[in-house]
Structure 1
Amino acid sequence: MRRAGEALGQVAALVAVLLLAGPAAAEARGAGDGEALFRACRGCHELGEGARHGIGPHLDGLFGRIAGSLEGYRYSSAMGRVGEAGLVWDAATLDRYLEKPQAFVPGTRMSYRGMPGEQDRAALIAWLEAATAEAPADNPAVASLPRPEIAAATLEIEGDPAYGEYLAGECVTCHQPSGRADGIPSIVGWPRDAFVRALFEYKTNVRSHQVMRMVTGNLGNEEIAALAAYFGQLSPQ
């Protein structure tokens, strides 16, 4: 009996330690998870010193910003409307948006389907709030400059939008020309270098997608430059 009592006492003590350590451990774990979760966002959004607009707007000074308000980025009309209606990004609005972007802002260009885990969203938002607070709020970002190490020859070509429109028939069977992203990523209004780089990554199997590999395999430099010019000039609806 005495041994059983001692064992129960040890268990109770251990539980007490875990309860006391719980919030701190969760906080530390959440901060780490938030940074790891943001890796999935980096393909579209830049953050920190030198951040520029890419497929998505930069995130410097995100908290307290009116939605759809950054200079130099072509937002969807849906994001512009909610910003004009007074939507401001904070922990609560970001939580709702990240849970299911298309439900919170119908017609948004963001093709991300959503983050269902409440704890994951909380961790990501907490990390973002700390990271964006350290970044300059008045970052005068413009469209990202071409990166010469990727598809340099194509990036030097001035694409013909009219030729791109002719070639785009195959693209718009999947990607909506309106810029909506109902399960398939929007490619309307992308910066030229991001568009060209993405096609070359599919072409060389850096990005693995069987259909895109087949489509891009038949495209030369002139065709890719023309498609980038055409889709880049379209305004998302």
Structure 2
Amino acid sequence: MKTQVQALSTDNRNFLLGARAQNMRPCLYRFRRLFAAALAVLMWSFQPAAAEDGDPVRGEKVFSACKSCHQVGAGARNGIGPHLDGLFGRTAGSVPDFKYSNAMTAKGQSGFAWSAHALDIYLEKPNAFVPGTRMSFRGMRNVNDRRDVIAYLKSVTGAAPAEDPTAAAPVGAEIGAAAMTLEGDIAYGEYLSTECVTCHQISGHADGIPSIIGWPKNAFIRALFDYKTNVRTHQVMQNMTTNLGNEEIAALAAYFGSIEPQ
């Protein structure tokens, strides 16, 4: 009798467990579907905008604001910033003879290389991604602008140029050409720099004011003549450059170009 009761109890328990399992299956099925959907949305939200196909034609227009510092395409050379040919897959801070900040050099030494995703993050807020970078650009907050610029760069950045990208461009009839032919006096440039360093940090950091440390000679001279002749409009810089002659500008270019950025 006891054995029969135990058997009934076991059967009832199995029946109840089976019924409960049957009732739970729809719930589990719905839960799994909801979980899979939520996971898909989460994964999609973390995809970088640069992974999408941007518009290189629009990206070229957005990049026009970058051309004053970065050259790209056939014959690209270093200027205020390094040339961008061969950018994707390139180790950070590795363009020969360009004076990088310690922060960017350290980034490259850690094994970091440029990818579309990394460039997307960097362009959004450069100083947050590489604290201490010399790049004074505050950031490109619009995700579509970043996506299109990256698409443009992908379309035009081939392999790094075979010729020396740091070689000075031939001096032509451009404004400031006479100063570019002079051998600037570094000591005289240091003497003249006292007013410059009240705003521009001697360390090369760019906390709201562009870094001018380590600039190539011609790029530095060209920038000062742009202010001197009102090509660039900035009242303070126009006042500073009004009375500077070729020798003074060449000296300043030589001095600031001789300093290693920190």
Q: How does 1:64-213 map to 2 (within 5 A)?
A: 64-132=89-157, 135-139=158-162, 140-145=164-169, 147-149=171-173, 150-213=175-238
Equivalent pair of 2:83/2:165 in contact (CA under 8 Å): yes
Q: The residue matched to 1:95 in structure 2 has which SS?
A: helix
Per-residue CA deviations over 1:14-44 (Å, capped at 9, x if unaligned) read xxxxxxxxxxxx968x232211111111111
**Distance 1:189-1:220 versus aligned 2 partners, 3 A rule:** same
1:65 is displaced (CA, Å) by 0.5
TM-score (norm 1): 0.84
8 A Cα contact 1:99 1:121, kept in partner: yes
2:97 counterpart of 1:48:
no
Identify unmatched segments of 5+ residues in structure 1.
1-25
Q: Which amino acid aligns with 1:214?
A: N
Matched residue count? 209
Match of 1:4 in 2: none
Contact 1:73/1:143 (<8 A) preserved: no
On the 8 A contact 1:54/1:144 being kept in 2, the answer is no
Q: One-letter code of the match for 1:34? A: G
SS in 1 for 2:61: helix
TM-score, normalised relative to structure 2: 0.76
Deviation at 1:146, TM superposition (A): 5.1
One-letter amino acid of the structure 1 residue matched with residue 207 of structure 2: D
Structure 2: stretches of 5+ with no match in the other structure:
1-51
Instruction: Give 1:155 shift.
Output: 1.5
Identity over aligned pairs, percent = 61
C-alpha contact (below 8 Å) 1:49/1:136 kept by paired residues: no
Residue 5 of structure 1: aligned partner: none
AA at the equivalent of 1:189: G
Which entry has the higher C-alpha Rg, 1 or 2?
2
Secondary structure of 2:209 counterpart: coil
**CA contact 1:54–1:191 (8 Å) conserved in 2:** yes
Which moved further from structure 2: 147-156 or 62-71?
A: 147-156
